[in-house]
Structure 1
Amino acid sequence: MMRKQFYQLQLGTAIVLLAVMFSCAQQAPKEQPVITSLSKEIKEIHAGILEGYLSENEIPNSLNLVPPPPEEGSVAFELDQEIAAMYVASNDEARREQAAKDADLHFPEAVDAFNMVLNTKISEANTPHLYMIMRRTLADAGLSTYGAKNHYQRKRPFMVNNTPTCTPNDEAALRKDGSYPSGHTAIGWTWALILSEVFPAQADVILERGKEFGISRNVCNVHWHSDVVAGRMMGAAAVAKLHANADFMIDLKVAKEEIKALMK
């Protein structure tokens, strides 16, 4: 099989698995097949998931960028197990409730993960360009994790420790989706880095929220600590690639102007 054909097959598999991750808790709302953005017309790559900014050749390849997941018996894997056990034993119900909310990648609910710390709230009506950026970069960041996910097919913590998650309705779908690296973390960290550019005065609280968004996957017992660390790496890689993309930079500039106008 030609290299390009193999990559397209891998990308197709990743889109299906990203859709599983996106819609495992509930049925995604129906969307129009084509949505107009400032830079171009945007198509859906799957129900409820818009195409990203990056082409198949531009999406960072996690298989090249992150090391293999920790081997059983290694110090790193022992740390993974210790952190997983700590969150399983935790009685912090408020943190588990927030982790369950952070698991929801549907829009408009997904923006609430960052609206909780922002002075200017993101919404389709209030900040349409920034809202569109968040919707599109979900695919860029999420797909960047699937080279390694598909290759390693790492089992998730709840599959190993046989203890509950904070999103029980997701568990059947998550069993089919590799644990390493964390797609949710990559998406959350991508959003945090972008939002810290749009709201520079709030960068610290935004980045802290982005960090906690990833840690929510540990709290939920669906990702290991090392999955989350590698997920942040892929989020940063996606943002680096996005800054070389003309359409993204056009939309980012307008989103910044959009927020400045609201804050006057």
Structure 2
Amino acid sequence: MSGLALAASLLVSACASTSESASSASPASPMSPAATVSSPATAEAVPEIRPGVLAGYLGRELPDSLKLLPAPPKEGSAAFRQDQAVSRASQKLRGTARDSQATSDADLSFPHVADAFSCALGVPVSQDQSPRLYQLLRRTLTDAGLSTYAAKDHYKRTRPFVFYKEGTCAPNDEAALRNDGSYPSGHTSIGWIWALVLTQVAPDRADALLARGRSFGESRLVCNAHWQSDILAGRTIASGTYAKLQSNTTFQADVAAASQEVQSLRASGKTPSVNCSAEAAALAIPIEGVL
């Protein structure tokens, strides 16, 4: 399978689980009249590149991750030994609340993942209540995920669970992940670009959003799916993708519309539907050695 095709399939961690969201979240459906918060402007219909996966904003204008990143650490190097130390430390957290959070973060399917940043944002995120924000997250997921594949396909780095002959927090994804390069981390790129985009939507929540973006990527350590250097590289690619988005007028219009939705949700007193106290407690558990 080509890198682009594999990327599209992995952008949603379990494609079968997207059938419900794909049927209820067609490109035009975010503008459904049933939405409880009116969208400030009408969004154009967005095509799907796979069932449940919307086309991104950048198309062929994605950053080249192979040009942006150095080669991953070589086995036996000091940098690789650091990766190994963090990997082994992170596996001590399996079975804890941090592991449960990492398992949740591994699932990129919508509507599940829409709420991943709702505690940090302070409002719920859903297709009904914030359709433009929901669509913004879906489209930037595609851009951030696909931006990692030039380097992924070139380096074809072995993932830690394969290296150590272990498992991950998402057993159903392991067959695909074995043949998908570890460097850089696509999940991290997605989580970090969401953090950056959401700080543009709600600047007053920047600290909480950026902290959540960091923890979202670090969940891949606990899941045994990535090395720490994969995580750091994923943030770099997300930052490059975010920079490219700043000159995209459609993206900017969607950010403005999403910001109005967040303000409306705040004014109406809406609060996240997830257990934010439990999330905070889980994310407060440190991962030894993380830079």
Matched, 1:146 2:149: yes
Task: Specify the code of the residue in structure 1 equivalent to 2:88.
Answer: A
Choose the corresponding residue for 1:195, options 195, 198, 206: 198
Q: Secondary structure at the match of 2:49?
A: strand
* In structure 2, distance between residues paired with 1:125 and 1:29: 18
Match for residue 108 of structure 1 among 83, 108, 111: 111
Contact 2:11–2:53 (CA<8 Å) still a contact in 1? no
Moved more, 106-115 or 85-94: 85-94
User: Does structure 1 conserve the Cα–Cα contact (< 8 Å) formed by 2:7 and 2:145?
Assistant: no
SS of equivalent residue, structure 1 residue 35: coil
Q: Helix, strand or coil for the counterpart of 1:208?
A: helix
- Give the structure 2 partner of residue 49 of structure 1: 53
2:38 is the alignment partner of 1:35: no
Q: TM-score, normalised by structure 2?
A: 0.82
- 1:30-60 Cα deviation digits (max 9, x unpaired): 525961374422101011110000021x101
Counterpart of 2:184 (choices 169, 181, 197) is: 181
Partner of residue 37, structure 2: none
Q: Once the two structures are superposed, what CA deviation does each residue of 1:117-171 show, in whole Å capped at 9, x if it has no partner?
A: 3321111111111111001111100000000001110010000112221112211
- Give the match for residue 234 of structure 2: 231
* Other structure's SS at 1:45 match: strand
Answer with 64-73 or 32-41: which moved more: 32-41
After alignment, is 219-228 or 248-257 more displaced?
248-257
What is aligned with 1:60?
Answer: 63
Q: Write out per-residue CA displacement over residues 147-201 of structure 1, whole angstroms, 9 at most, x where no aligned residue.
A: 0001110010000112221112211111011100000000000001111121222
Matched position secondary structure for 1:60: coil
1:256 aligned residue (255, 259, 275): 259
Give percent identity, aligned residues only. Answer: 46
Which residue of structure 2 lines up, in the alignment, with residue 15 of structure 1? 5
CA contact (8 A) 1:155 1:179 kept: yes
Q: 1:135 to 1:62 in 2, by over 3 A?
A: same
Equivalent runs, 1:153-172 vs 2, <5 Å: 153-172=156-175
Aligned pair 1:210/2:200, yes or no?
Answer: no
- Structure 1 residue 263, shift from structure 2 partner: 2.3
Give the letter aligned to residue 48 of structure 1. Answer: G
Which secondary structure does the structure 2 equivalent of 1:81 belong to?
A: helix
The one-letter code sitting in structure 1 at the alignment partner of 2:130 is T
Secondary structure, counterpart of 1:139 in structure 2: helix
Structure-1-length-normalised TM-score: 0.90
Q: Greater CA deviation, 74-83 or 37-46?
A: 37-46
Count residues in correspondence: 253
Matched to 1:62, the amino acid is S
Task: Give the distance between the partners of 1:91 and 1:231, measured in 2 at CA.
Answer: 23
Structure 2: gaps spanning 5 or more residues: 32-41, 268-291
**Contact 2:127 2:134 (C-alpha < 8 Å) held by counterparts:** yes
